[in-house]
Amino acid sequence: MITFTYRLSGHLEGEKVTANCLHPGVIDTKILHTAFPGMRGASPKEGAKTSVYLAKGVTGRYYEEMCPVRSEPLTYDQDVQNRLWEVAERLTGITSL
């Protein structure tokens, strides 16, 4: 997802659309309670803060806890991004971007 997001943000340059990815952290949801009974996480409101922040014009980045961080080196590899994009086009039949 991170690799695809970097590639998508390049296609959207100059548009009024942003493409980012983020790790919301451990959020106190039914999914968390089902998978890990007794574990607690941050509130959904707290977990949404980064998503809301990123909707304000930042693009092409990976964030954790409202801070830009470097993702794994492979996610920046242009060849990997291109191959992933080509597979996505083939699988979806969408090639307009």
The predicted pLDDT at position 97 comes to: 66
Rounded to the nearest 10 degrees, the angle between the axes of helix 78-92 and helix 2-11 is 80
Statement: residue 10 has pLDDT above 80: yes
The pTM (predicted TM-score) of the whole model is: 0.80
Confirm whether 51 is domain-assigned: yes
Confirm whether 97 is domain-assigned: no
62-64 and 21-23 strand pairing: parallel
Confirm whether 41 is domain-assigned: yes
Mean pLDDT, residues 11-19 taken together: 90
What's the distance, CA 45 to chain centroid?
18
Range of the domain at 83: 2-92
Q: What total number of domains does the chain contain?
A: 1
Confirm whether 60 is domain-assigned: yes
Statement: residue 43 has pLDDT above 90: yes
The predicted pLDDT at position 58 comes to: 85
For residues 47 and 10, give the distance between their C-alpha atoms in angstroms, rounded to a whole number: 26
